[in-house]
Amino acid sequence: MGEILQYLLTGLSIGGIYALVALGFYIMWEATKAANFTHGDVYMFGAVVCVVLVERGFPLLIAAAMAMVAAAAVGALIERLLVRPFNKEPNAIGWMLTTIAIGIVIESTATITYGPLGRPLASPLAERPIRFGGAGIYPQELLLPIVAILATIALELFYRRTTLGRAMRAVAVNPTAAGLMGINPFRIAMIAYALAAAIGALAGILIAPVVQATPTMGALIGLKAFGVAIVAGIANARGVVIVGICYGVIEKFIEAYISTGARNAVGFTLMILALLLFPQGIFGRREVVKV
Amino acid sequence: MKERWQFLIILALGVAFLVVFRQTEPTGYQMGLMMRCMILMIVTIGLNILIGHAGLVSLGQAALYGLGAYVAAWLAVKQGMQFLPAVAAGIIATAIFGAILAYPTVRVRGVYLAVITIAFGLVFQNILVEWLSVTGGTQGLIGIPRGNVFGISLTRPIYFWVVAGCLILAFIVQYNIIHSRYGRAMRATAQSENAAKALGINLAGTRTLAFVISAALAGLAGGLYTFLNLFVNYETFTFFHSVSFLLMVILGGTGSLAGPLIGTSILVYIAEILQDLQEWQILAYGVLLAVVMFVMPRGIVGTAGELYARLTTKPRARETQAWPNRSVPLADIHGEGTERGQLVLKTDGLTLRFGGLTAVDNVKLEVSSGTVHALIGPNGAGKSSVLNLISGFYTPTSGTIAFFGNSIAGHPSYELARRGIARTFQNTELFGQMNVLENVLVGFHAHYRNTLFETLFRLPRFGHEERRFLAQAHQLLNFVGLSDYAEEEARNLPFGHQRRLEIARALALRPKLLLLDEPAAGLTHGEIEDLKALIRLLADNGVTVILVEHHVEMVMTVSDHVTVLDYGRVIASGSAAQVQDNPQVIEAYFGTGGAEFARQHAVAAAK
């Protein structure tokens, strides 16, 4: 019983990361029908910058906020320089390559300047685990799924209740018509990428006290989160976060009951199967094509 | 023809380069590098067919390459198999996986497909590392015996020519595929799924073919790599390598013949230089990737081609001929007509619902051969939906559709096209980046009989058919007056010409039933007159036409029979004159009191 609870708790925590990173993919996709393919490296960037700032003597919360702002700036730049010029026609693939390129650059720059080894980030929430039944977990880890859910609620409120949020939804549905209504879809796209990057960086900062920040921490997480977003149907925030958290839990149970080594093979196979069963994603809408 | 010369020149230059390279007595290192480069070229040629022609992006190509390598290695090490069967088994295994990977493309494309291929690549790598007993884990498979073919040991100098031969073969396969109906079908599905379906192209089959060919080439390359390196390890087949393959193709220029060769050579060479940079290597690679995309988004060959075209093309006066060109014998164009008086199409109780909305409600139609049957009605009356039902784009909720007495309701559109139902689209759907002639050639797709094997090896029947349909395509262009535009990309045509081309392409199918969806929309007065003449000419030659149109004057002059729809229901049916006087029709168009208005209007007009 304790064991199962333990897997569930750690799974929720990992799932929280997938959910937050996948949420970023969703936000970018809504605005541009493209995304920063290596969004995982923005997640890493947030963690690494935060660690460095804390090492320089900034208080944790200030450092975290600064790291998120820096990540948002990087996100906006990526949209302006690497996505917009390569996403001009439907089914364009240029943005995939340019954002993979920037991911490689960010990751290798981090390796060269920060060093390949992980460094800790001290957090008051990662000092003493709390125990339930036979399971133990740091409060820091529990923060992840909670933040993921809060972020989803905040995002939905933002999309529904604010003028900017409504403008973003309008662009998602029809950028041309939105443009005719006086909304600048390019500005919306930049804001979306900045927002996605800030959320991604937040996920990195939240997990850094538990796993240590390394330059390679983001690559695989990013790919998995992208898979999660696509499997969810990349159509609504709730779906993306639910699938993200579930994927984390499923991974932990695969580790526990099959083997650690099989985690990715089984996990990705499940993703492929899910896409075969639900070609538009689990929560996706099927688009009726008018001829 | 131009492409054929390019192909032969590239082939000759390539072979000459290899011969000269061997004469310069390269070091062992240079030999190894050259062979590795040639092997990678085989992979990128396959990927180029997939991306550049079928429009499908694979980010798991390194895994297919690795699958070919590991299958060959495992068979050679653990089963003692010889070079040829081991490599062949690798090719077959990857081709099968290619077909499996292609399965989702039946329904998903673009980024969904990219995710599936990425996931496949990561699963593959995970299995390589973890399945110790078969793959040797992180260490990989070592001690692969040198290849041996018919008692000849494949020493490096001999193996060099084996690899070179395979590359040349791959290059020829690429040319033979893309310059055939198969290649045209791939480009057609990539550029307009709807139009491709309506011309009898099986989308799933075409995409599966593209995937299988590209996978088989990756498998061949993998097998060759195994017997070059004599050990295999998972590190050669990672996601990073899949990205490199994509970069090679895009750097060279997607869809071009020489692109994969150029892109691969440059990147292999650069990777060699970058090795001295150690930790900076990956950074430099990333920067380079970004720079290439900025400077040459269409790749080296694409950009050079554009420049060349800009420098050499002089503006040329092109003449648009009148259409329909009656000097072209119609019998040659559309072949078999149908006998007069046959019942071509019959629908009964035809109903289509989208959720709560009934778009088509209990529609009964009878269309006899050689007639023009018009469907009219206010916007949203369900006219286009009826066309979409007849051409298989929608499946009816209930009711029957019979084509020459055979039920066709719910059959896929490509199959109906092959039976002789052709259509045009409300928003003209051409294959924009293919030229005018090719657009028409795609229309003949369903009439080709030669097999993939005959196409790959250019057997006589391939040539016969290709020449015959080429001549017929020219004739069709002549018929619609577009002969001077044959080489122009379809998207550059003015709107009226696009309509003509779309009709010519539909005629290439030699339809028994031609569905025209608002063909007059956006045309000038003169163009509409031509269109009327064309429709009459076709009907008089035994082609049955169903016409959806808002242009009432045109409908009334060309139609033998008019059916009026409103809110999905048939409200009147009969000859043009009968329908015109029907009060229900007038009400549908002008509202209540419309009859009175129409009468006064007619009186005023008569004065």
What pLDDT digit, counting tens, does each position of B46-95 carry? Answer: 999 998 898 888 889 999 999 999 999 999 888 888 888 999 999 999 99
Give the number of beta-carbon pairs within 8 Å between A and B. 118
Q: CA-CA distance, B589 to B573, in Å (whole number)? A: 15
Contact status, residue A97 vs residue B289, Cβ threshold 8 Å: yes
Contact between residue B578 and residue B404 where contact means Cβ atoms under 8 Å apart:
no
Give the pLDDT score at B280: 79
Winning range, highest mean pLDDT, from A44-48, A281-285, B101-105, B301-305:
A44-48
| Same domain, yes or no: B219 and B335 | no
The mean per-residue pLDDT over the stretch B231-252 comes to: 88
From chain A, the residues in CB contact with B239 under 8 A are 223
Which residues does A4 contact at the CB level (< 8 Å), separation at least 6? none
Q: By CB neighbour count within 10 A (0-12 exposed, 13-18 middle, 19+ buried), where does A162 fall? A: exposed
B403 domain residue, yes or no: yes
Cα–Cα dist B312/A31, whole Å: 41
Tell me the sheet residues that pair with B363: B350
Tokens of B159: 């193996």
- pLDDT (tens digit per residue) in B423-456: 999 888 999 889 999 999 999 998 888 888 888 8
The per-residue DSSP string of B327-387 comes to TS-HHHHH-----TT-EEEEEEEEEEEETTEEEEEEEEEEEETT-EEEEE-STTSSHHHHH
Domains detected in chain A: 10-120+138-277 (1.10.3470.10)
Inter-chain contact A272–B294, Cβ cutoff 8 Å? no
Of B114, B123, B239, the CB nearest to A269: B123
Least confident span in A133-142, B209-218, B548-557: A133-142
- Reported as type and span, the H/E element at residue B153 is strand B152-153
Domain boundary among B198, B213, B238: B238
Q: Which neighbouring-strand residues pair with A137?
A: A130
Does B134 touch chain A if contact means CB atoms closer than 8 Å? no
Dist CA A63 CA B28 (whole Å): 54
Q: What is the pLDDT of residue B523?
A: 86
What gap in Å lies between CA B186 and CA B178, rounded to an integer?
8
pLDDT of residue A30: 87
Q: For residue B337, what pLDDT band results from cuts at 50, 70 and 90?
A: low
Burial string for B108-128 (b: 16+ CB within 10 Å, else e) reads bbbbbbbbbbbbbbbbbbbbb
The per-residue pLDDT for A289 is 53
CB A148 within 8 A of CB A155: no
| Beta pairing partners, B354 | B357
H/E segment holding residue B195? helix B193-198
Structure tokens at A277: 């069963």
Q: Does some domain include residue B15?
A: no
pLDDT band at B106; cut points 50, 70, 90: low
- How many helices (H) and strands (E) in chain B? 26, 12
The residues, any chain, with a CB within 8 Å of residue B411's CB and separated by 6 or more, are B392
B104, B354, B425 ranked by CB distance to A275: nearest = B104
DSSP-derived letter for residue A234 is S
CB contact under 8 A, B290 and A226: no
pLDDT in tens, B393-419: 999 999 999 998 888 888 999 999 999
Cβ atoms A20, A148 nearer than 8 A: yes
Q: Would the pLDDT of B24 be above 70?
A: yes
User: Is the pLDDT score of B526 beyond 90?
Assistant: no
Q: What percentage of chain B carries pLDDT values higher than 70?
A: 93
Angstrom distance (rounded) from CA A144 to CA A137: 12
Which of B109, B282, B293 shows the shortest C-beta gap to A86? B293
Where is B516: in which H helix or E strand?
A: strand B513-517
Burial class (CB in 10 A: 0-12, 13-18, 19+), A120: middle
The pLDDT, as a whole number, for residue B336 is 58
In a domain, B486, yes or no: no
CB A16 within 8 Å of CB A245: yes
Pairing relationship of beta strands B544-548 and B372-376 according to DSSP bridges: parallel
Q: Give the pair of three-digit tokens for residue A261.
A: 């080594």
Structure tokens of B88? 């062949």
Q: Which of A93, A234, A282, A287 to mutate to test the interface with B (most CBs of B within 10 A)?
A: A93
Is the pLDDT reported for residue B594 higher than 80?
no
Bridge partners for B348 per DSSP? B400
Check pLDDT > 70 for residue B515.
yes
User: What mean pLDDT value characterizes chain B?
Assistant: 86
Single-letter amino acid code for the residue at B249: V
Give the residues across from B190 on adjacent strands.
Answer: none
Residue ranges of alpha helices (H) inside B394-451 are 413-419, 436-443
Helix (H, G, I), strand (E, B) or coil at A44: helix
For B380-510, list the strands marked E by DSSP. Answer: 398-403, 406-407, 421-423
* Residues whose CB is less than 8 angstroms from the CB of residue B280 and which lie 6 or more positions away in sequence, other chains included: A108, A112, B274
Asked which of B238, B258, B281 is the last residue of a domain, the reply is B238
Distance CA B110, CA A289 (A): 16
Supply the pLDDT for residue B255: 85
pLDDT grade, residue B595 (50/70/90)?
low
Q: Which residues of A touch B294 (CB under 8 A)?
A: 85
- Domain presence at residue B339: yes
Distance (Å, whole) CA B121 – CA B252: 24
B570: domain CATH number? 3.40.50.300
Specify the amino acid at residue B575: S
| pLDDT above 80 (res B340) | no
In a domain, B97, yes or no: yes
Q: What is the pLDDT of residue B290?
A: 84
The answer to whether residue B341 sits within a structural domain is: yes
Give the chain A residue whose CA is nearest to the CA of B103.
Answer: A276
B283 contacts A109? CB cut-off 8 A: yes
HSE-CB at B40 with a 13 A cutoff on CA atoms is 28
Q: Which helix (H) or strand (E) holds B194?
A: helix B193-198
Of A100, A268, A281, the CB nearest to B122: A268
Q: How many CB atoms lie within 10 A of CB B379?
A: 6
Sign of CA dihedral B475, B481, B484, B488: negative
Identify which of B296, B590, B335 has the alpha carbon closest to the alpha carbon of residue B468. Answer: B335
H-run or E-run covering B563: strand B561-566
Q: Which chain B residue's Cα is nearest to A224?
A: B119
Instruction: Provide φ and ψ at B126, rounded to 5°.
Output: -60, -40
Closest residue of chain A to B192, computed from CA coordinates? A291
A217 vs chain B: nearest CA distance in angstroms? 16
The residues that bridge with B564 in the sheet, in sequence order, are B376, B572
Any idea how long chain A is? 291
Segments in chain A below pLDDT 50: none
**A214 touches B: beta carbon within 8 Å:** no
DSSP B81-149: --HHHHHHHHHHHHHHHHHHHHGGGGT--HHHHHHHHHHHHHHHHHHHHH-HHHH-GGG-B--PPPPEE
Which bin fits B356, alpha (ψ -120 to 50), beta or left (φ > 0)?
A: alpha
Q: Report chain B's terminal Cα–Cα distance, integer Å.
A: 62
**Which pLDDT score is estimated for B22?**
86
**What is the distance in angstroms between the CA of the first residue and the CA of the last residue of chain A?**
56
Task: Express each pLDDT in A220-272 by its tens digit.
Answer: 899 899 989 988 888 788 999 999 999 999 999 998 888 888 888 888 889 88
Residues of the domain holding B173: 39-238
**What percent of chain B stands above pLDDT 90?**
31
For chain B positions 530-549, those within 8 Å of chain A (CB to CB) are none
Q: Tell which B residues from 368 to 427 touch A, by Cβ distance under 8 Å.
A: 384, 388, 393, 425-426
Residue predicted with more confidence, B337 or B197:
B197
Instruction: Please indicate whether residue B200 or residue B102 has the higher confidence score (pLDDT).
Output: B200
For chain B, how many structural domains are there in total? 2
Q: What residues of chain B lie within 8 A of the CB of A86, using their CB?
A: 293, 297
What integer pLDDT is reported at residue A137 of this predicted model?
A: 85
Contact A233, A219 (CB under 8 A): no
Contact yes or no for B401/B471 (Cβ under 8 A): no
CB within 8 Å: A272 and B289: no
User: B409 and B557, same structural domain?
Assistant: yes
How far is B492 from B483, CA to CA, in rounded Å?
Answer: 15
Which residue has better confidence, B288 or B227? Answer: B227
For residue B509, give the 3-state DSSP assignment: coil
Neighbours of B276 (CB within 10 A): 8
**Minimal CA separation from A268 to chain B, in Å:** 5
CA-to-CA distance for A68 and A58, rounded, in angstroms? 14
**Domain-located, residue B579:** no
Contact B497, B482 (CB under 8 A): yes
Q: Which of A190-199, B22-31, B375-384, B544-553 has the highest mean pLDDT?
A: A190-199
Q: CA–CA separation, B595 vs B377, rounded Å?
A: 16
